[in-house]
Amino acid sequence: MALVVLGLSACGSSVKDDPNSQAALDQLYAEAKGDLSNGAWERAIKGLEKVESRAAGTVLGQQATLDLAWAQHKQGERVQAVATLDRFIKLNPSSPAVDYALYMKGIVNFNEDLGLFGRIAGQDVSERDQQAARDGLLAFRQLVDQFPESKYAADAVTRINFITNTLASYEVHVARYYFNRKAYVAAAGRAQSAVLEFQTAPAVEEALYLMAESYDKLGLTQLRDDARRVLAKSFPESVYLAGPDARDKPWWKFWGSDQPAAKAQAAADKPWWKVW
């Protein structure tokens, strides 16, 4: 019994005297992990920053970096979370967790747009600035390209499709804005950008319609006829072939219900340790 007491005393003394000891780092990480589980993001961030700094170059340090990015994400610090993940990827290019870091980088940006989509009724996500969505798209594409066998690749493909549709709809939203203000050259240009960059997105249907109508207003009959011909061939059942009354239909109603968005939001809110 005396030996056990002396051993515990020595361990406690070691932790206190040497904050860089393995015992001290394990204790500090355990406390930060507890804060993560309890949603105490700010306190978790402070603890994980200490672990990351003191355990640099170790597996524990890498783990702390990923935990830190997650805590920053949940705290609403998107820029800091992305910077933390970029640092992880740069410093640990051969880590088996790089695919997860890319996946989480996509999630952080994806959640920036999707969160508002799920909370504000009647707000078209495509009407917002799309830089976060583009950043998320790049991260998911990099994951799929570099790690096609990753356990996160299939989900990344689903999110790529969603973001692609969002970005295409944003281009159409801008084209529609210009068209309604009789800026037909600008409208045709933005609609054409959507068609060229996002060929498989549902929003391309309206983009082709806006192209045709803009060219018609500009007196460019050959380009108008070409756009209408492509619209008829690509979307033979299109409501736009019947008249202009259906122009305001949101892209997600062409794509299906908003259930994919709700499922994606639920997945984005899932703690990383339950995925990884």
Q: Give pLDDT tens digits for 222-235.
A: 999 999 999 999 99
Kindly state the helix (H) or strand (E) to which residue 20 belongs, with its residue range. none
Q: Give pLDDT tens digits for 196-254.
A: 999 889 999 999 999 999 999 999 999 999 999 999 999 999 998 875 554 445 444 44
Q: Within 13 Å, how many C-alpha atoms sit on residue 43's CB side? A: 12
Is 96-276 CATH 1.25.40.10?
Answer: yes
DSSP state letter for 241:
G
- pLDDT at position 49 is 94
70: Cβ–Cβ under 8 A, 6 or more apart, which residues? 36, 81, 104, 271, 272
Q: Give pLDDT tens digits for 66-89.
A: 999 999 999 999 999 999 999 999
pTM of the model: 0.72
Number of helical H runs and strand E runs in the chain? 14, 0
Q: Which two tokens stand for residue 233?
A: 């061939």
